[in-house]
Amino acid sequence: MQPIPYGKQQITEEDIQAVIQTLQSDFLTQGPKIEEFETKFAHYIGCEYAVAVANGTAALHLSVLALGVNEQSNVITTPITFVASANCVRYGGGNVCFADIDPATGLLDIEKVRELLESKPKGFFTGIVPVDFAGLPVDLEAFRQLADEFNLWLLEDACHAPGGYFVDKIGQKQNCGNGKFADLAIFSFHPVKHIATGEGGMITTNNRELYDKLILLRTHGITKKPELLPPDKGGWYYEMQELGYNYRIPDILTALGISQLQRADAGLQRRRQIAIRYDAAFRKEANLTILNPAAYLADKTETGHAYHLYVIQVKNRRGLYDYLRQHQIYAQVHYIPVHTMPYYQRLGWKPGDFPAAENYYEHCLSLPMYPTLTEQEQEFVIHQIKTWLTNEAN
Ligand SMILES: *Cc1c(COP(=O)(O)O)cnc(C)c1O
């Protein structure tokens, strides 16, 4: 059997043809495929505006700039995320303030965030970056309420959750990144994510003003739009109005993104099937805990979990990780708590600061989860884990 990774892209013949067509077109970058991808992605997510960029980290960087992060900013995020969710605040010169996770979900604990907010004078904190970790949507309605109470912006890191949703207080589905509650949301199209373009990212919003800023910042802060320029300066005239970046994504990659987007729902369906199968295999295992076992099992209702990751927890995680590797199953650990990274320790954070996050990290393991994982491969993974559990127990 081939090695089994924890995540993997799927490239079809259609995807390949879409890229070839763009290679043969007039535009490799700055062409029509970018806007087409943005429009289709916004439609998929159910938001007003989408801005395609070079990668998810660039999406985070531009977002904090548009939101006005500077040296005075104190921004709250979770320690259980990819480092980029926190780093973006540093790009803007601001301070990252962590709050612990809810061990039941792995998500930023809103009660801990409230405690942190109340520990400082109003106005001290400026924003929150909640993460739809593993694909489980954050209750952004609750976070919005809290944010409004403390006059904060919300930047949703939805990299794990395109197609995910939560159900709000009046029973309506709210898609991750739809801009209903968060000011901005960001996505990544790295190959381990749901939609793969190699490198790529997207920012979504319903806020026109933020959208206009993002468009400007994506291309050096330069505009050629007549309505933003003095009249009658000549056809060549442009202005650099802000300090921006070149964070564009090329047409070649957005063509791939458009093609991938057509299969997004099918991919999500497949991820949910895989999750149900893992749930059924492991729910009765005494020495294994499923993080966010699907609600399917309890009452057959569907959750809006997008299953970027399928996370289990075991006592001897190192043992299971090594055992699976011996059998060419490359399960992965998500994540080493960000506040324990040497860079953040130099900023004053230390192990022991967030016990729930650190305890989660000690035991977590992300199992193979991607649409092309075959039934046979999944059965092999399940079989190996059960074998290991039996050996551990003896
Ligand atoms: C992947 C990821 C990012 C960064 O995306 P890139 O496209 O790799 O820059 C940010 N946040 C989270 C939670 C991610 O999973």
Helix (H), strand (E) at residue 143: helix 140-149
Dump pLDDT digits (tens) for 5-40. 999 999 999 999 999 999 999 999 999 999 999 999
Look over the chain and give the mean of its residue pLDDT values, rounded to a whole number.
Answer: 96
Token pair 């970046």: residue: 245
- What is residue 187's DSSP assignment? E
Q: Tell me whether residue 193 is one of the annotated catalytic residues.
A: yes
Instruction: Give the model's pLDDT for residue 292.
Output: 87
Dump pLDDT digits (tens) for 337-385. 999 999 999 999 999 999 999 999 999 999 999 999 999 999 999 999 9
Number of domains forming the structure of the chain: 2
Do both 284 and 225 map to the same domain?
A: no
Instruction: Give the model's pLDDT for residue 394.
Output: 78
Rounded distance from Cα 159 to ligand 1 centre (Å): 6
Q: Which of 87, 188, 195 to mutate to test the pocket of ligand 1 (most atoms within 8 A of CB)?
A: 188
Do both 336 and 357 map to the same domain?
A: yes
Q: Average pLDDT for residues 138-146, to the nearest whole number?
A: 97
Q: How confident is the model at residue 183 (pLDDT cuts 50, 70, 90)?
A: very high
* Catalytic residue, candidates 173, 193, 233, 386: 193
Tell me if 81 CB under 6 Å of ligand 1: yes
Instruction: Give the model's pLDDT for residue 298.
Output: 45
Instruction: Give the model's pLDDT for residue 1.
Output: 79
Do both 244 and 270 map to the same domain?
A: no
Q: Identify which of 218, 219, 239 has the alpha carbon closest to the alpha carbon of residue 227.
A: 239
Do both 30 and 93 map to the same domain?
A: yes
Q: Which of 85, 96, 159 to mutate to test the pocket of ligand 1 (most atoms within 8 A of CB)?
A: 159
Do both 239 and 282 map to the same domain?
A: no
Tell me if 157 CB under 6 Å of ligand 1: yes
Do both 230 and 94 map to the same domain?
A: yes
Dump pLDDT digits (tens) for 272-324. 999 999 999 999 999 999 998 775 544 455 579 999 999 999 999 999 999 99
Q: How confident is the model at residue 169 (pLDDT cuts 50, 70, 90)?
A: very high
Report the C-alpha gap between 182 and 205 in whole angstroms: 8
Q: For the CA atoms of 41, 43, 49, 50, what is the dihedral angle to 10 degrees? A: 0
Please check the confidence at residue 334 and state whether its pLDDT lies above 60.
yes
Among 261, 290, 322, residue at a domain's last position: 261
Instruction: Give the model's pLDDT for residue 299.
Output: 47
CA nearest ligand 1 atom 6, residue: 56
Q: How far is CA 375 from CA 82, 100, 273, 309, in A?
A: 29, 36, 10, 17
Specify the CATH number for the domain of residue 378. 3.90.1150.10
Q: 252 and 23 in contact (C-beta within 8 Å)? A: yes
The DSSP line for 303-315 is: P----S-EEEEET
Please check the confidence at residue 386 and state whether its pLDDT lies above 80.
yes
Q: Residue 57's domain spans which residues?
A: 4-100+107-261
Dump pLDDT digits (tens) for 77-115. 999 999 999 999 999 999 999 999 999 999 999 999 999
Instruction: Give the model's pLDDT for residue 47.
Output: 98
Q: 166 and 140 in contact (C-beta within 8 Å)? A: yes
User: What are the DSSP E strand ranges found in the chain?
Assistant: 4-5, 49-53, 74-77, 95-98, 127-129, 153-157, 165-167, 173-175, 184-188, 201-205, 222-223, 239-240, 288-290, 310-314, 329-330, 364-367
Do both 254 and 364 map to the same domain?
A: no
Do both 317 and 355 map to the same domain?
A: yes
* Helix, strand or coil, per DSSP, at residue 376: helix
Dump pLDDT digits (tens) for 235-253. 999 999 999 999 999 999 9
Tell me if 55 CB under 6 Å of ligand 1: yes
Among 241, 261, 281, residue at a domain's last position: 261
Q: How confident is the model at residue 140 (pLDDT cuts 50, 70, 90)?
A: very high
Among 231, 261, 291, residue at a domain's last position: 261
Do both 253 and 116 map to the same domain?
A: yes
Strands 288-290 and 239-240: unpaired
Do both 282 and 389 map to the same domain?
A: yes
Do both 251 and 346 map to the same domain?
A: no
Do both 351 and 248 map to the same domain?
A: no
* Burial tier of 30 (Cβ tally within 10 Å: 0-12, 13-18, 19+): exposed
* Helix, strand or coil, per DSSP, at residue 249: coil
Q: 249 and 200 in contact (C-beta within 8 Å)? A: yes
* Helix, strand or coil, per DSSP, at residue 117: helix
Specify the CATH number for the domain of residue 207. 3.40.640.10
